[in-house]
Chains A and B, each alone.
Chain A
Amino acid sequence: MRARRMTHVLITATAAGSLLAACSGAGGSSSDGGDGKSINVLMVGNPQMEDIAKLTKSTFTKDTGIKVNFTILPENELRDKVTQDIATQAGQYDVATVGAYEVPVWQENGWLHEMGTYADKDSAFDKGDLLKPMVQSLSAADGKLYALPFYGESSMLMYNKDVMTAKGITVPERPTWQEIADIAAKVDGAKPGMKGICLRGLPGWGELGAPLTTMVNTFGGTWFTKDWKAQVNSPEFKKATNFYVDLVKNHGEVGAPQAGFTECLNAMSQEKVAMWYDATSAAGSLEDAKSSKIAGKVGYAYAPVVETKSSGWLWTWAWAMPKTTKNADAASKFMLWASSKKYEQLVGEKLGWARVPSGKRASTYEIPEYKTAAAAFGDITLNSIQEANPTNPGVQPRPTVGVQFVAVPEFQDLGTKVTQEISAAIAGQTSVDKALNDGQKLAEEVAKKHQ
């Protein structure tokens, strides 16, 4: 009932929304009428966003007189809502957080304001300080910047130092996947119920799809060639996927087909696994003594590789301004402030340096207080982000920008469905070959639309 009703309601709402938009012209209708005194911001419900919601009134609003109304939603709902709002030109929001995946796709549809010019005009913003991969992943084919990064992350390997010491194992700073698989076999069972490594097995292009694609990249595979030939059942893709699936099956966390970021974080911090390959932003949680048994005992290494020099992914949550906004000036002021050095300083002083929205500016890593707070993982995080190359993450040229995703509208669906099958292979319900051959058919359909 709920699901169907929800579908109905949304379809109707969308239909109604697009009708309204058609009536009111391309500009849409903003509830505030564009007086520039108040803006609506839609954000993903991550801790960094909750921090800014707390800090805005006493600082930004006080200084500029611009009132900011925040709407905070979990990631999936945010994506649904922001896509509906922008696609139907409803114009409810002046600013929305978007990820590296959305920017190129939406820009192509002409949904986003160009932001580079705003950033250039504000000398205090120091656009040149933004990390290059961040700028690249938020730029469109025309080379212009369409969103301002709020924080960024790459991926890395995290391990339990106690377990490694007890077994006499040294984890290389730049390991290969084979080395990691060997270590996983050795530390499997190091403590009662402890597994070798946690790798996501939960379906979803942003769950299992993310670490798997970095592995495919470094094994020499790709989803598509530069001229849009689907490569999902190519030997390299197969080799990488088999390696991933075997590693999880043999030495991975229990309940792997249901384990996503959250489950792995839990398994790692409760000493149920000895290693974990995932987002650099996980370090903050692992080092939090309140929730983690291994705070202070975590070692960090770069994303394991095979054929490439580095293999970390690249993700950023960034501020974008829909074209439908009538408060462009006020909205841009807020966006520039939220991504500024000044804001990082504010968070550090008021809430603690570990909570600074990091990973987007080189200067963050020169702040002495931040350096101390992130001593264990700061350097690897920064280097991993800088080494990530969103335009050329593998061994061959790509058709789109993006490390762990293909920036076309169809990828959400393709990635979800292929990872569903791979998750089934991890569960032992199907074979990798069958999963990838089915995936190849889906990928060919997508390729056809872009050739």
Chain B
Amino acid sequence: MTALTERPKKGAPPSVRPQPPTGVSKWRRRVPLLPALIFTIIVTQLPFVATLVISTFQWNILKPGERHFVGLSNFSFVFTDERLRTAVLNTIVLTASVVLISVVLGLGLAMLLDRRFVGRGLARTLLIAPFLVMPVAAALLWKHAIYNPDYGLLNGTLNAVYRFFGADNGPTVDWISSYPMSAVVLSLVWQWTPFMMLILLAGLQAQPGDVLEAARMDGASALATFRFITLPHLRQYLELGILLGTIYVVQTFDAVYTITQGGPGKQTTNLPYEIYLTMFRKYEYGEAAAAGVVVVLGSIVIATFALRTIASLFREEVSR
């Protein structure tokens, strides 16, 4: 983190302050900001401290008399519990597949949208739409309108195709039960592809036209131009998309809760849903808090990488 804060300074213009402020004037400048600072600390840091404290307690709210300090044993439970390990694994599978698939699809769509054609504005708006749908609404839509074996779009289409070829009825596939993880991933990919597309489109449109033109003059094929010029140029945009996407998709709750309820069994139970179950079915606040702390630490690690990427993007802008 220190490298992060120091490096941009090198490129920054030298300080124009004539003299370092004295103690009194320093505080005069700070005092008006203090309420905001205190407010920020209260709303962001205190809850976390409270979570840390609670994570050291054996605390089931349905047993009011039995609350007591247990040290780190909730954490040892978090790391040894088989359900939580499954949840961690599911979270990784879910996040990685959603982010990677939506980056690839987003890239494809961004490339298409980068060209000029009639109705481009409309196409762009329509493609962004899934990202604007509320997560719960999107999950309900997928569960009922698309996956439902009775009246869902997927089986409806299958049946129509079968009937077209003369069969009575197509097979009735119970998508959610047969392919639970894929079902959740697909609905999330639908939501997150527009996000990736937006970031990558911004990257593509920031591409210097003269370089591309030079490549064309030199007789480079479209594929070679993409591989050796566009892709390296997009690298940071790709990184940014992947990291921001990861931070958000790790915390997916709505899709899991709505579409599969973590099931069948625990095949799609990810960490947020497992924490929800610990909190609201088991009422074990200590365990839930400990699991929450672990997730926060994990997220901080990812977020640190994300911030680095953003910082490097800005650095590039400055040096340009």
A-side interface residues toward B, CB under 8 Å?
Answer: 1-4, 7-12, 14-16, 76, 79-80, 83-84, 87-88, 105, 109, 192-193, 202-204, 254-258, 267, 272, 409-410, 412-413, 416-417, 420-421, 423-424, 426-430, 435
Contact = CB atoms under 8 A, between A and B. Distances in A.
B264 A426 contact: yes
B176 to A, nearest CB: 6
A7 B50 contact: no
A4 B295 contact: yes
A200 to B, nearest CB: 12
Contacts of A258: 143, 176-177, 260-261
Given A1-B248, A8-B51, A409 B267 contact: no
Given A192-B169, A429-B265, A409 B288 contact: no
Given A3-B273, A192-B169, A258-B176, A8 B48 contact: yes
9 contacts: A3-B251, A3-B273, A7-B288, A11-B50, A87-B61, A254-B149, A257-B177, A428-B177, A429-B180
A383 B10 CA distance: 84
Interface in B60-98: 60-65, 83
Contact of B283 (A83, A203, A417, A420): A83
- Chain B interface mostly: helix
A1 B251 contact: yes
Interface string B281-300: 11101001100100110000
Contacts of A428: 177-178
A428 B260 CA distance: 15
A88 B64 CA distance: 9
Given A3-B272, A87-B64, A255 B148 contact: yes
Given A8-B292, A11-B289, A409-B60, A424 B149 contact: no
A272 B148 CA distance: 13
Contacts of A14: 61, 285
Most buried by B among A83, A417, A435: A417
A325 B164 CA distance: 67
B70 to A, nearest CB: 15
B177 A11 contact: no
A228 to B, nearest CB: 16
Interface in B221-261: 248, 251-254, 260-261
Interface residues of B, number: 55
B275 A4 contact: yes
A80 B280 contact: yes
B309 to A, nearest CB: 19
Contacts of B172: 193, 254
B264 A11 contact: no
Contacts of A417: 83, 277
Contacts of A430: 264-265
Given A109-B63, A423-B264, A416 B281 contact: yes
A429 B264 contact: yes
A395 B275 CA distance: 37
B82 to A, nearest CB: 9
Nearest to B270: A3
B263 A423 contact: yes
A87 B65 CA distance: 11
B83 to A, nearest CB: 8
Contacts of B276: 3, 7
Contact of A272 (B53, B150, B251): B150
A203 B263 contact: yes
Contact of A11 (B51, B248, B267, B273): B51
Given A7-B275, A11-B292, A257-B264, A427 B251 contact: no
Contact of A203 (B64, B261, B275, B292): B261
B54 A15 contact: yes
A87 B148 contact: no
A413 B292 contact: no
Contacts of B176: 255, 257-258
Contacts of A435: 265
Given A255-B149, A426-B264, A2 B292 contact: no
Nearest to B62: A409
Contacts of B252: 3
A7 B51 CA distance: 9
Contacts of B60: 409
B141 interface: no
A409 B59 CA distance: 13
Given A14-B61, A413-B277, A4 B272 contact: yes
Contact of A420 (B53, B177, B265): B265
A424 B251 contact: no
Contacts of B62: 83, 87, 105, 109, 409
Given A255-B148, A413-B282, A428-B178, 6 more contacts: A8-B292, A11-B292, A15-B53, A83-B62, A204-B261, A409-B60
Contacts of B283: 83, 87, 409, 412-413
Contacts of B282: 410, 412-413
Contacts of B275: 3-4, 7
B264 A424 contact: yes
B124 interface: no
Given A12-B47, A192-B169, A413-B277, A427 B61 contact: no
B150 A4 contact: no
A202 to B, nearest CB: 7
A8 B47 CA distance: 6
Contacts of A257: 174, 176-177, 263-264
A146 B177 CA distance: 42
Contacts of B260: 258
B46 interface: yes
> Across chains A and B, which 3 residue pairs bring their CB atoms closest together, nearest first?
A424-B265, A3-B253, A424-B264
Contact of A412 (B148, B265, B281): B281
Contacts of A429: 177, 180, 264-265, 267
A6 to B, nearest CB: 8
B266 A420 contact: yes
Given A105-B62, A109-B63, A416-B281, A267 B150 contact: yes
Contacts of B285: 11, 14
Contacts of B100: none
Most buried by A among B47, B48, B277, B295: B47
B130 interface: no
A409 B149 CA distance: 36
A305 to B, nearest CB: 29
